Amino acid sequence: MSKTIAILFGLIYVAMGIIGFFDTGLVGPDGFFASNTLYNVVFLVVGAVLLGGAAGRWGATRGTNMIVGAVLALIALTGFLMVPERGEMLGMLVSGSDHWLNLLAGLALIGVSLAERGTVAGMHMPRHATR
């Protein structure tokens, strides 16, 4: 499940980064998800990190998900406090929609990582071996 969620959010963030360069109304300066060139690059980097993590070993995917998830959740919470609606944060144009996406992605990535703790590739392993 860690790989699946990493691929899902990785593709979402890469798509948002690409779409943001074209200002389609969904992602862009006047879009539902506010963004500028810097934030489009950030979307692409986050997506690439998640996809790269998903391409690695299962344990690396879980670690990547945990770190990226924590960063996204922290950015979302900071965004809610600094720019509740629409405005600039650290040079990036952001909106409330961006904060909700980052919070959802962050919590999902962390949640899946924690849920799979103590498993190997999604299979539960016994806590102790007989030999």
Is residue 128 in a domain? Answer: no
> What predicted TM-score, i.e. pTM, was given to this entire model?
0.82
Domain encompassing residue 68: 2-120
Task: Give me the residues paired with residue 120 across strands.
Answer: 123
Q: Is residue 130 part of a domain?
A: no
Report the share of the chain in percent with pLDDT over 70.
89
The reply to whether 113 falls in a domain is: yes
Question: What confidence tens digit (pLDDT) does each residue in 30-82 have?
Answer: 889 999 999 999 999 999 999 999 998 767 888 899 999 999 999 999 999 99
Burial of 127 (0-12, 13-18, 19+ CB in 10 A): exposed
Whether 126 is covered by a domain: the verdict is no
Asked, for residue 127, whether it belongs to a domain, the answer is: no
In a domain, residue 131? The reply is no
The CB density around residue 107, as the number of other CB atoms within 10 Å, is: 14
Which residues on adjacent β-strands are paired with residue 93? 88
- Which residues, in sequence order, are bridge partners of residue 119? 124
Establish if 125 belongs to a structural domain: no
> Quick check: is 40 in a domain?
yes
| Total of domains in the chain | 1
